[in-house]
Amino acid sequence: MTDDTTKRHVVLAYSGGLDTSVAIPWIREHYGAEVTALTVDVGQEGELEGALARARANGARDARLVDAKATFVTEFCFPALQANALYEGIYPLSTALARPLIARTLAETALSLGADAVGHGCTGKGNDQVRFDVAVHTLAPSLRVIAPVREWNMNRSDEIAYAREHHLQIRVTPESPYSVDENLWGRSIEGGRLEDASTSAPEEVFDWTSHPDSWPAEAESLTVRFHRGIPVALDGAALAPVELVRQMNRRAGRHGVGRIDHVEDRVVGIKSRETYECPGAVALVVAHQALEALVLPRDLLQFKASVDRRFSDLVYEGLWYSPLREALQSFVRSTQDVVTGEVVLRLHQGSCRAVARRSEYSLLSHELATYGTGSTFPQELAVGFIHLYGLPNQLAHARVEAARAAPEPTPDAPRPVLRTA
C-alpha cells in the first residue's frame, strides 16, 4: 500500500453474492480503503447490472462490468479444448480456466486506476485463492492481494448479521446452501449436502442439465465442424465462439450430458467432493478427441496425451501464466493443423458418443485396412515382420524362465569371476 497521505484503493472482484457484498464495507473499515467493484462477465448467468447497482449502494466508489466472454472462449477455453483438458481425467477445468482471466482483468484495472491492491472473495481452503494470488503476483508484483473471506473468520450467519448492521442491500432471494461458480465452460457446485460424498447429489443442485425424467427418449445427432482444432460450426451453421459454446451447452444439457460427480484433489492437499455441469465442454472434448484419433499418428497421439495431462494439471494448479504452460500450448497448437473436419455426436440419456467422423487429412486408408477386395496391404510380409518384431521378446522370455529355474547358489560354491584381458 502507499503511504497514509493518499487514500488506499482496492479493486475487488465482485460477483454480487453475499461474500463480496459484505467485503465492500469490510475493506473500507479494515483497510481504510476505497473500493472499486469489478465484475468480469465470463458468461455467468444472473443479473449483473443489478449487482453493480447494489455494489454502489453498499459503498463502492465505482462498480464496473467487463465483458470478457469472447476472450474467455478464444484465449482460454479453446486452447484447453485443443489439449482435451480434463483434470483427473474428468473435470473440464471450467472454474480454473476463468480465474486467470479474471485476475488479469483485475490487475489491469487496478494498474490503470493507480490502485494499490486487488481483492477477491476466496476462502483459504480452495484452489481459487491460489489461482488469483499467483496470477496477480506474476502479472503485477507491485499490487497487494486482499482476501477478506480468508481473513475475517465470519460464517454465513455472521455475514448476514454484518450486512444488517451495515444496512447493506443484499439479494433478497434466499441464498442457496451451495457455493456455485458459473461461466461459459461450465458450472461448479460444492458445499452443503454435497460435502457428504457417500450420498448422491440432490437433483436441486443441477441447473444446466435436465432431470433424468425429462431426458428426451429419442437420441439427437449433432455435427461439429472443427478448423485446426477449433470448433467453428454446428450442423453446418457457422457460429462465433461464444454462441457456439452456448448452443453446445443447451443441446447437450437437454440430454443430461456433462454431469460430473467427483472426489477431487485440491492444490492445498484436501480431497473434496465436487459436482459440475459442463455439457458443452464435455461434448466438445469427445468430438475433438474423436477427430484427433482420425488424423494424428499413433506416436503423436500417445505423446500428446502426456502433454495434455500436464497442461491440465498446470491450469488446475493456478500456473496459467507460466513459461511451461505457454510452451505446452505451443506444442499442442503445432499438432492441430490437420485437426480439421467433422464429427457426428449422438446425444442420448446422459451420454455423448462420437458415431461418425470425416476429415480431408484422415489417416484411415481404405486400401490398406479393408478386408474386402482391393486391399493393397502386403499380407505375405506380415510373417517376416512378426518374426522380427517378436524376436527380442522371445529371447527375453527364455532368459527369465532360465533364471527362475536356476538353483540358488550354495554358500561354498565357486563364484564365476569376470576376467579382464
What positions carry a catalytic annotation? 19, 99, 128, 179
Which of residues 264 and 292 has its CB atom nearest to ligand ARG in the complex?
Answer: 264
Per-residue x/- track, 91-120, ligand ARG (CB under 6 A): ----xx------------------------
Which window, 134-142, 176-184, 292-300, 375-383, contacts ligand ARG (CB under 6 A)? 176-184
| Footprint of ligand ARG on 207-236 (CB under 6 A) | none
| Footprint of ligand ARG on 246-265 (CB under 6 A) | 264
Which window, 17-25, 175-183, 277-285, 301-309, contacts ligand ARG (CB under 6 A)? 175-183
Which of residues 59 and 126 has its CB atom nearest to ligand ARG in the complex?
Answer: 126
Which of residues 133 and 190 has its CB atom nearest to ligand ARG in the complex?
Answer: 190
**CB distance 339 to 226 below 8 Å:** yes
Smallest distance, ligand ARG to C-beta of residue 181, A: 4
Residues 6+ away with beta carbon under 8 Å from 372: none
- In DSSP notation, 314-376 reads HHHTT-SSSHHHHHHHHHHHHT-TT--EEEEEEEETTEEEEEEEE-TT----HHHH-SSTT--
Per-residue x/- track, 177-196, ligand ARG (CB under 6 A): --xxx------x-x------
Smallest distance, ligand ARG to C-beta of residue 376, A: 50
Q: Which grid coordinates belong to 265?
A: 484433489
317 binds ligand ARG (CB under 6 A): no
- Eight-class DSSP state of 214: G
Nearest to 98 by CA among 126, 65, 131: 131
128 binds ligand ARG (CB under 6 A): yes
Which window, 47-55, 140-148, 174-182, 278-286, contacts ligand ARG (CB under 6 A)? 174-182
**CB distance 264 to 272 below 8 Å:** yes
Smallest distance, ligand ARG to C-beta of residue 205, A: 11
Count residues contacting ligand ARG (CB under 6 A)? 11
Which of residues 135 and 290 has its CB atom nearest to ligand ARG in the complex?
Answer: 135
In 238-278, where does DSSP find H-type helix? 241-254
| Footprint of ligand ARG on 49-78 (CB under 6 A) | none
Nearest to 255 by CA among 232, 282, 274, 223: 282
**CB distance 360 to 338 below 8 Å:** no
| Footprint of ligand ARG on 267-306 (CB under 6 A) | 274
Q: Which grid coordinates belong to 19?
A: 461474500
Separation between Cα atoms, residue 15 and residue 13, nearest integer Å: 7
| Footprint of ligand ARG on 153-172 (CB under 6 A) | none
**CB distance 154 to 19 below 8 Å:** no
127 binds ligand ARG (CB under 6 A): yes
- Per residue in 240-273, is it b (16+ CB within 10 Å) or e — as a string? ebbebbbbbbebbbbbbbbbbebebebbeeeebb
Which of residues 36 and 95 has its CB atom nearest to ligand ARG in the complex?
Answer: 95
Which of residues 274 and 308 has its CB atom nearest to ligand ARG in the complex?
Answer: 274
Smallest distance, ligand ARG to C-beta of residue 347, A: 25
In 9-91, where does DSSP find H-type helix? 18-31, 48-57, 69-71, 78-82
**CB distance 283 to 257 below 8 Å:** yes
Nearest to 315 by CA among 304, 326, 301: 326
Which of residues 34 and 190 has its CB atom nearest to ligand ARG in the complex?
Answer: 190
Residues in contact with ligand ARG by CB under 6 A are 95-96, 127-128, 179-181, 188, 190, 264, 274
